[in-house]
Amino acid sequence: MEYSPPPLFKQGASARVKMMVFAGISIALLLVDSRMHALTAVRQAVGTVLYPVQMAALVPRDVALGVGNYFSSLSSLEKQVRDLKHEQIASAQIMQQAQLNIVENKHLRKLMEARERVPVKTMMAEVLYDTRDSAARKIVLDRGIQNGVELGRPVIDNLGVVGQVTRVFPFTSEVTLLTDEEQAIPVQLLRNGVRSVAIGRGKSGTMELRFTAPSADIQIGDIVITSGLDGLYPAGLAVARVTLVERNAHGPFGRVVCQPLAGIERNTQLLILMTSPEIPPRPPVEDVKTGRKIAGKMAPIKDPAAAATPAAKLPATPAVVPKPAVVPAAVPPKEPTR
């Protein structure tokens, strides 16, 4: 249905005609501007006038883009920070592992050098864990009966004696450290050969030289080594350093405290000395009893000259018994250190 204006009002040109007129004007202006550049000044003036309007119209778009870029960059930065933290942790772990490997390699090289210095066969072992008993000083190694480990084997590191194998299992062995209160080892001073017995002092991590006379020539700083008298420890192994000397004039013995030289509780690899104790076997009990019986049945030996002299011819005055001469005690020779 078409609606037409009332006939009383005057009508102008139709919309179609207007559109065609304006389109023609636009085409003409485009042709004139493209060929003669006559409208450049007009275009610049119009652009200058409309520039604030354009900027105002672009503000919402710029705000939206800025907010989006902010949150996008924020999330990207957070992700980068997380990645950098993970890389830092991984790098720190790698560095710690590298430092640990360097320390272990250094310790292993020292053990190999000590292995070459020891004149007996040795076996490398690794410390698995400490025993659960907090009062005892014991560790467990990864070598046992299957590897040829036996009771009494000495355990050392590159600095000296660590302890002794006291229990053996098929695949592991238990080592009692020198600082354990039940551990004793015969020792002597490297400087002058004074012998003693070193006994652990438990939690203090030190040792004490027992049965030492107050007048014994012991000084702070003396090195204590194994004497080899027990047949278990080879002679000449470093044990401890004297740190305290107390001379008790009223008692039979002095008090000497030593600090172990070996890394008692800080090593992870150790050496087991595969030595057999060179102790001669004891004589059988029957032979000892037989010897005692024969000695009891033997008559005492008499001097024939005294037996031939009658008792009546002996002088009335008692004979003077000469006093025995004072014989100096033999100084035990120093055992060669290794």
Distance CA 210, CA 158 (A): 26
Closest residue by Cα to residue 242 from 227, 225, 228: 225
Structure tokens at 280: 């001669």
Mean pLDDT within 130-134: 79
Compute the distance between CA of residue 142 and CA of residue 117 in angstroms, rounded to an integer: 23
Question: Using only C-alpha atoms, what is the Rg of the chain?
Answer: 52
Domain ranges (residues) in the chain = 122-273
Residues 104-127: what's their mean pLDDT?
A: 84
Residue range 253-273: mean pLDDT, rounded:
87
Rounded Cα–Cα distance for residues 336 and 190 (Å): 9
Task: Please give the model's pTM, rounded to 2 decimal places.
Answer: 0.57
Lowest mean pLDDT among 211-215, 218-222, 285-289, 328-332: 328-332
In this model, does residue 88 exceed pLDDT 60? Answer: yes
**Mean pLDDT, residues 292-315 taken together:** 46
Whole-number pLDDT of residue 278: 55
Work out the average pLDDT over 128-156: 88
**8-state DSSP, 165:** E
Give the mean pLDDT of 153-169. 91
For residue 155, is pLDDT > 90?
yes
Q: Which helix or strand (DSSP H or E) is residue 81 part of?
A: helix 40-117
Residues 231, 2: Cα–Cα separation, whole Å: 132
Q: Is the pLDDT of residue 333 over 90?
A: no
pLDDT of residue 9: 55
Average confidence score pLDDT of the chain: 78
**pLDDT value for 190:** 92
Q: Residues 203-215: what's their mean pLDDT? A: 85
- Residue 136 in contact with residue 265, Cβ under 8 Å? no
Q: How confident is the model at residue 83 (pLDDT cuts 50, 70, 90)?
A: very high
Residue pLDDT, tens place only, 3-50: 555 555 556 677 888 888 888 888 887 887 777 777 777 778 888 888
Q: Give me 208's structure tokens.
A: 């004490």
Question: Are the beta carbons of 172 and 129 closer than 8 angstroms?
Answer: no
Fold classified for 122-273: Thrombin, subunit H (2.40.10)
259 pLDDT more than 70? yes
In this prediction, residue 332 carries a pLDDT of 39
Amino acid identity of residue 1, one-letter, is M
